[in-house]
Amino acid sequence: VDLFVRGSGGNTTTTMMYGIMHEDINNSGDGGIYAELIQNRAFQATEEYPVSLDAWSAVNGAKLSVKQLGKPLSTALPNSLNVVPGSGKSGFANSGFWGIDVKVQRYTGSFYVKGSYSGRFTASLQSNLTGETFGAVDIVSRSVSDEWVQHEFTLVPRKAAPNSNNTFAITFDASGTKNGSLDFNLISLFPPTYKNRPNGMRVDLMEAIAELNPKFFRLPGGNMLEGLTTKTWWKWNETIGPLKDRPGMAGVWGYQLTTGLGLVEYMQWCDDLNMEPIVAVWDGLALDGTFIAEADLGPYIQSALDELEFLTGDVHTKWGAVRASLGHPKPWTVKYVEIGNEDWLAGRPTAYDSYKEYRFQMFLDAFTKKYPKIQVIASPSVFDDMVIPAPAAGDSHSYLTPDGFVQAFGMFDHLTKGNLTLIGEYAAVHPNGGIDWSGDLQPWPWWGGAVSEAIFLIGAERNSDRVIGATYAPGLKNLNRWQWAVTLMQHAADPALTTRSVSWYMLRLMGKHVITETLPVATDANFGPLYYVAGNSDKGTTILKAAVYNTTAPVPVSLQLECYKKGTTATLTVLTGPQNPYGYNDPWTQANVVKETTTTLKADDNGTFSFSLPQLSVAVLETSGK
Ligand code: AHR
C-alpha cells in the first residue's frame, strides 16, 4: 500500500483522545483501586443488601453481632459491631477483599470504639493458613463507656507474607472491659497509597493506568450513576466528607458500596494523572427503567448544578464553601458535564422518550444558563436515534465483535461539526460468528479483539475534530468476584496478579503517540486490510498509526511524507499477538502474549519509509522530527 502523507490540510484534533472511565463494577472500586483493605468496614447496608458480618470472624472465642445502637457512630453509619470477648485476649478478624497483601511497609489504620476498656488493643496481620503473625502493634485504649472514640495506629510488619491469604485482627483483653462488651465501627486499614494520599488509591493499579497516558476521566461512568431505583442513584453529596458521614449506596452490580471512593477522590485522580474530568450527573433515570416526571425534575437539576458548584465554585458560594471546609479551597476546573448514562437503553416508549422530550433539554438549559462555557454531553449520541440539540455533544457506546469494530471504522466520518461525540465506553466483548448478548462475553480481552479496537480508534482519530475522546470500559475486574468479564485489567489482593490485558498494550501504544493535527493521506488503496491515520504531534514529529486485520500475507507499506527532510529517521513500533487470535493475557500465568518490536527506519532518497505489517498487528511510526 502506497501512502502519501500531505504536509497540511487535516484537522486540529481533540486534545484528549484517550481517557478512562470508572464505576464500581467487578469490585473495581471497593476491593479494587480504592486501597482500603478491610471489607465491610462499617457494616453499611441498604434495602437491597442487608447488614451482615461478611468478611468478619471471631478470634479466640469472642461473640460478634451487628447492632443498631441508640447512639450510633453517625446517622450515616447506624450499624456497628458488638464484641463480647472470650477469655484472655480475643476479638475479631477481617479477611479483607479475598485476602490482604502483607509487605514490610507502613499500614495506616483506624477504628472507633464505644465502651469502657482499660488496657491495650492489638492490631495485627497474620496468615489465615498457619496463624503466623507478620506484624502487630499495641494501641493504648482511650475508650469510654458512652462515646465513640477513634483510635489511630500505624503498623509495619516485620516480615512479608508469602501469599495474600491473610487476615487483619483487633484483639483486646477481656479483663479490661467493664460492661461485658465493646462496640466497634469504621475499622479501616490502608497500605501506602498512590502519591501517599489519605483514603487513597492502590499504587500498582494507578501506575498501570498512568502508563496509558490518559487525558480524561469519565466519572462516574456507567450504570452505577443511574442506581437501581430512583431512590438509590449515585448521590454525589453522600460520597463526600469524612468517611463516618458517608452512608454508602446500593451498588448496581450486586454488592453494597462504601463510597469511600467518592467525588473528591475521583477529582484527585484527575489531579494525580493530569486528566480532564468529564463529570456525569444523575438525570432522573434509574436502571429499573423508572424516571422522574417533568414536574418533579427541578430538585434533581438543582442537585446537579450544586455538584458543579461544589467542584468549581469559589469559597464564597454555598457549595464551594463546603468543598473548602473539606480541605479543598481551590476550585477544580470542569469543562465537560455528561447528563446521565445510556438513556437510550432505558426502554421505550417511555423512559428514553422522556429524555428526548424533556429531561435532557431541562438539564441542558440549566447548565447552559449557569455554566455557559461547559460542554454538555448527552448520554446517547446521534447513533442512538437522538437529535442532539445544540450546543450539546453526544456519547456513543460500542460493545461489539471484532468484525463489528472493523465495520465501524468509518462510523465517525459522517459526523458533522455540530455532532461532537464522546466514545464513553467501548470494548470487543463477543467473538465473531453469531454470539451476541444472549451468550456470554469472552472471558478476557483477546488479541483479535484488541486489533479491531485499534481499527475503531484509528477511525475515531481520523475524525478527532468531532470526537471528544474514547475510553475502554470497564477498566478493572477483581478475579474473586466480577459481573462483567472483559476488562482492561484484572486484579486481586495479591499485586502479583495485576494483569494488563492485550487491549491495555494496544492502548498504551496508541496513547503514547499523541497526534495534535491530522494530515490527509493520498493513496490508491482502499481501507482494509490496512487501516491508518496520520498526523503531526506538538513535538514536531509526524505519526502514522496503523492496524492490519483480515489478510493472509503481510501488508507492504510505502510511506512518503510531503514534509520529509533529508536525514529524518523514524521509529516503528509494531505489536503482534499470538497465532491464535483468541490468545489473551492470563492473570494466572502472567505471560504477556503481546510482542512489541521497535525498529529505526531510514527513508530512501525520495523520502519514503518502507516496511511491512503482518496480519493482526497494530503499529505506530513516529519520525524523529521534520
Ligand atoms: O461497562 C459496563 C456497562 O456497560 C456500563 O455500566 C454501562 O454503561 C454499559 O451498558
- The tens digit of pLDDT for each residue in 183-226 reads 999 999 999 999 999 999 999 999 999 999 999 999 998 999 99
Q: Does residue 224 share a domain with residue 186?
A: no
Cis peptide upstream of residue 389 (ω within 30 degrees of 0): no
Nearest atom within ligand 1 for CA of residue 427: 1
Nearest atom within ligand 1 for CA of residue 345: 10
Please report whether residue 414 resides in a domain.
Answer: no
Residue type, 378: A
Residue nearest to atom 9 of ligand 1 (CA): 222
Please report whether residue 594 resides in a domain.
Answer: yes
Please report whether residue 168 resides in a domain.
Answer: yes
Query: What is the domain count for the chain?
Result: 3
Q: Does residue 336 share a domain with residue 254?
A: yes
Beta carbons of 98 and 167 less than 8 angstroms apart? no
Beta carbons of 125 and 96 less than 8 angstroms apart? no
Distance CA 108, CA 445 (A): 35
Pocket test for ligand 1, best of 20, 21, 22, 23 (most atoms within 8 A of CB): 23
Q: Does residue 177 share a domain with residue 63?
A: yes
Beta carbons of 497 and 587 less than 8 angstroms apart? yes
pLDDT at 225: 98
Distance CA 33, CA 272 (A): 14
What is the residue-averaged pLDDT of the chain? 96
What's the predicted TM-score (pTM) here?
Answer: 0.97
Please report whether residue 60 resides in a domain.
Answer: yes
**Residue 607: which pLDDT band, with cuts at 50, 70 and 90?**
confident
Please report whether residue 440 resides in a domain.
Answer: no
Extended strands (E) in 524-568 = 530-536, 542-548, 555-561
Q: Does residue 227 share a domain with residue 325?
A: yes
pLDDT of 4 strictly over 80: yes
Mark which of 392, 425, 447 sits at the end of a domain: 392
Q: Does residue 239 share a domain with residue 118?
A: no
Q: How far apart are the first and last CA of the chain?
A: 23
For the chain, the 3-state helix, strand and coil shares in percent, each to the nearest 5, are: 20, 30, 50
Whole-Å CA distances, 404 to 224, 439, 478: 26, 16, 28
Q: Does residue 185 share a domain with residue 219?
A: no
Whole-Å CA distances, 624 to 4, 547, 566: 18, 21, 12
Angle between helices 203-210 and 263-273 (to 10 degrees): 50
Question: Three-state SS for 385?
Answer: coil
Residue nearest to atom 4 of ligand 1 (CA): 222
* SS3 per residue for 116-168: CECCEEEEEEEECCCCCEEEEEEEECCCCCCCCEEEEEEECCCCCCCCCCEEE
Mark which of 392, 409, 439 sits at the end of a domain: 392
Beta carbons of 417 and 466 less than 8 angstroms apart? yes
Q: Own/partner pairs for 383-390, CB < 8 Å, 24+ apart?
A: 383/411, 383/421, 384/344, 385/344, 386/344, 386/356, 387/356, 388/419, 389/360, 389/361, 389/364, 390/418
State which residues form the domain around 606.
2-13+516-623
Distance CA 523, CA 371 (A): 45
- In this prediction, the answer to ipTM > 0.90 reads yes
Please report whether residue 25 resides in a domain.
Answer: no
- The tens digit of pLDDT for each residue in 544-567 reads 999 999 999 999 999 999 988 888
- Percent of the chain predicted with pLDDT > 90: 93
Whole-Å CA distances, 357 to 348, 364, 372, 381, 422: 13, 12, 22, 15, 22
Pocket test for ligand 1, best of 484, 488, 489, 503 (most atoms within 8 A of CB): 484
Residue type, 499: T
Mark which of 190, 206, 224 sits at the end of a domain: 190
Mean pLDDT of 137-156: 98
Residue 291 burial class via C-beta count within 10 angstroms: exposed 0-12, middle 13-18, buried 19 and up: buried
Extended strands (E) in 195-328 = 216-219, 249-250, 256-257, 276-281
Please report whether residue 504 resides in a domain.
Answer: no
Please report whether residue 40 resides in a domain.
Answer: no
Nearest atom within ligand 1 for CA of residue 252: 6
Could you tell me which residues are beta bridge partners of residue 64? 83
Nearest atom within ligand 1 for CA of residue 253: 6
Beta 249-250 vs 256-257: how paired, if at all? Answer: antiparallel
Q: Does residue 305 share a domain with residue 235?
A: yes
Q: 223 alpha carbon to ligand 1 midpoint, in Å?
A: 6
Distance CA 124, CA 133 (A): 7
**Residue 244: which pLDDT band, with cuts at 50, 70 and 90?**
very high
Residue 344 burial class via C-beta count within 10 angstroms: exposed 0-12, middle 13-18, buried 19 and up: buried
Q: 491 alpha carbon to ligand 1 midpoint, in Å?
A: 19
Q: Does residue 180 share a domain with residue 264?
A: no
Residue nearest to atom 5 of ligand 1 (CA): 222
Question: Three-state SS for 383?
Answer: helix
Residue nearest to atom 8 of ligand 1 (CA): 222
Distance CA 505, CA 577 (A): 11
Distance CA 95, CA 493 (A): 11
Give me the torsion for CA of 415, 421, 426, 428, rounded to 10°.
10
Residue nearest to atom 3 of ligand 1 (CA): 222
Beta 555-561 vs 608-613: how paired, if at all? Answer: antiparallel
Q: 397 alpha carbon to ligand 1 midpoint, in Å?
A: 9
Q: Does residue 74 share a domain with residue 164?
A: yes
Q: Does residue 291 share a domain with residue 324?
A: yes
Nearest atom within ligand 1 for CA of residue 399: 4
User: Which DSSP helix (H) or strand (E) runs through 63?
Assistant: strand 63-68
Largest interatomic CA distance in the chain: 91
Q: 310 alpha carbon to ligand 1 midpoint, in Å?
A: 26
Whole-Å CA distances, 522 to 4, 153, 526, 561, 563: 5, 65, 11, 10, 14
pLDDT at 602: 95
Distance CA 598, CA 28 (A): 33
Could you tell me which residues are beta bridge partners of residue 2? 558
Q: Does residue 221 share a domain with residue 166?
A: no
Residue type, 486: V
Domain with 138 in it: what CATH number?
A: 2.60.120.260
- The tens digit of pLDDT for each residue in 454-493 reads 999 999 999 999 999 999 999 999 999 999 999 999 999 9
- The tens digit of pLDDT for each residue in 254-291 reads 999 999 999 999 999 999 999 999 999 999 999 999 99
> What residues are in contact with ligand 1 under a 6 Å CB criterion?
23, 25, 222-223, 341-342, 425, 473-474, 484
Q: 427 alpha carbon to ligand 1 midpoint, in Å?
A: 10
Pocket test for ligand 1, best of 22, 381, 384, 425 (most atoms within 8 A of CB): 425
Q: 382 alpha carbon to ligand 1 midpoint, in Å?
A: 19
Beta carbons of 621 and 571 less than 8 angstroms apart? yes
Q: Using the structure block, give the residue that is written with the C-alpha cell 468479564.
A: 485
Closest CA to 98 of 493, 469, 377: 493
Q: Does residue 219 share a domain with residue 186?
A: no
Q: 102 alpha carbon to ligand 1 midpoint, in Å?
A: 33
pLDDT of 371 strictly over 70: yes
Q: 428 alpha carbon to ligand 1 midpoint, in Å?
A: 13
Residue nearest to atom 2 of ligand 1 (CA): 474
Domain with 583 in it: what CATH number?
A: 2.60.40.1180
